[in-house]
Amino acid sequence: MRKIVLPDYKKNILRAILSLQVVESEIPKPAKNEVLVKVHAAPCNPSDIAFMEGGYNIVKTLPAVPGLEGSGIVVDAGEGAENLIDEKVCFFSQDDRDGTWSEYICLNKKNLVVLDGQMDMDQAACFSINPFTARGLLDIALLHSVPCIIQNAAGGQVAAFVRQMAEEHNIKVIDIVRKKESADQLKKAGAKYVLLEHDQDFEEKLMKLSAKLEATLALDAVGGELTGKILNAMPEGSEIVIYGGLSNQPVSGINPLGLIFKDKIVSGFNLADWREMLDDDYFDEISKAMQARFIDNTYKTRIQSKTDFDHITSGLTNYLRQMSAGKILISPK
């Protein structure tokens, strides 16, 4: 079989991408409670970028096969997982073994979601992470009964799902983006409150809008100075939940007086921890309900292009140039 190999972590992402190699190896054999999946496709997410830079919380023994999620068909199984053969699945892989940018992958059965037969396999490749992340973030908004949330990196896919799910619960959203074209696209698609983070009066506008709409929860995928700017502008009693570090910068600029005298809170969200907290039956319920929304096209991951292993370098550099245009899918074919 063929797989993509990262020889070494590289802080410069372009160098990391250029160093990727396609190598041949033996098809692995599934152990007890494991399955062998023939991979249909796997996306590149910001977490894969951070992984290749050596800046993520998952560090694999090198050389390593990147890729944290994907979709495919179970073609073989170890003892205890035989019932899964021939199932369409999507999967999440975080351990110190080969990742999903491979023709075949061995996975523990607990890392699979067995899919409804009608699920589109390209959409399924991006189903394990972002839709559930948005759902977990929405749960925080519902728990706090907030009328409005603020989110940055609003042109991205998690943010798109959050916007859609928030609308279904009558929660307003203030979207923050860094590029004017992203702001224009969001407005065109119906987003009502869109702010540009580099506008001179960004903080003033955010302060007025968040006070008016009672936006006391912010979902932050960027970090750096933007975290401080957002939290400082929010009303008393606000919380900012950090779930990504796209700026590659430490969180900064938070006014300590806000934390001391205005009951403001900084917290974090991680999908794997949220999943751990959920009862398996409840997770299945959420998964089935969400798959139904994908099957009827209510939810959709934007996919900008598909690339095979031999063109992965150009595919990944295109994604880096225009992340808001949608995911790139890596397909072994």
Q: Quick check: 186 binds ligand NAP (CB under 6 A)?
A: no
Which residues from 277-306 bind ligand NAP, rule CB under 6 A? none
Residues 6+ apart with CB under 8 A from 209: 174, 193, 195, 215
Q: Give the ranges where 78-125 is alpha helix by DSSP (H).
A: 121-125
Q: Quick check: 41 binds ligand NAP (CB under 6 A)?
A: no
Structure tokens at 102: 């491979």
Secondary structure element (H or E) that encloses residue 305, with its range: strand 303-308
Q: Quick check: 158 binds ligand NAP (CB under 6 A)?
A: yes
What is the secondary structure of 123-158 as a DSSP string?
HHHTTSSHHHHHHHHHHHHHHTT-SEEEESSTTSHH
Residue choice 106, 206, 221, 303 for contact with ligand NAP (CB under 6 A): 221
Residue choice 99, 131, 244, 258 for contact with ligand NAP (CB under 6 A): 244
Residue choice 149, 323, 328, 329 for contact with ligand NAP (CB under 6 A): 323
Give the pairing of strands 172-177 and 193-196: parallel
Nearest distance in Å: CB 299, ligand NAP = 14
Residue choice 5, 36, 183, 222 for contact with ligand NAP (CB under 6 A): 222
Residue 297, by phi and psi: left (phi above 0), alpha (psi -120 to 50) or beta? left
d(CA 31, CA 249): 41
d(CA 41, CA 174): 33
What is the Cβ-side half-sphere exposure of residue 198, based on CA atoms within 13 angstroms? 7
Region of 108-116, 117-125, 184-192, 321-329 interacting with ligand NAP (CB under 6 A): 321-329
Region of 14-22, 24-32, 41-49, 205-213 interacting with ligand NAP (CB under 6 A): 41-49
Calculate Rg over the CA atoms of the chain: 20
Q: Quick check: 179 binds ligand NAP (CB under 6 A)?
A: yes
Which amino acid would we find at residue 202?
F
Region of 8-16, 34-42, 279-287, 317-325 interacting with ligand NAP (CB under 6 A): 317-325
- Residue whose CB is nearest to ligand NAP in the complex, by number: 244
CA 161 from centre of chain = 10
Nearest distance in Å: CB 281, ligand NAP = 22
Region of 2-10, 27-35, 267-275, 282-290 interacting with ligand NAP (CB under 6 A): 267-275
Q: Quick check: 130 binds ligand NAP (CB under 6 A)?
A: yes
Structure tokens at 175: 């979207």
Residue choice 182, 216, 232, 291 for contact with ligand NAP (CB under 6 A): 182
**Positive or negative: CA dihedral 69, 75, 79, 80:** positive
Nearest distance in Å: CB 185, ligand NAP = 10
d(CA 205, CA 198): 12
Q: Quick check: 227 binds ligand NAP (CB under 6 A)?
A: no
Residue count, binding to ligand NAP (CB under 6 A): 26
Q: Quick check: 113 binds ligand NAP (CB under 6 A)?
A: no
Which parts of this chain interact with ligand NAP (CB under 6 A)? 45-47, 129-130, 133, 153, 155-158, 178-179, 182, 221-222, 243-244, 246-247, 269-271, 322-324
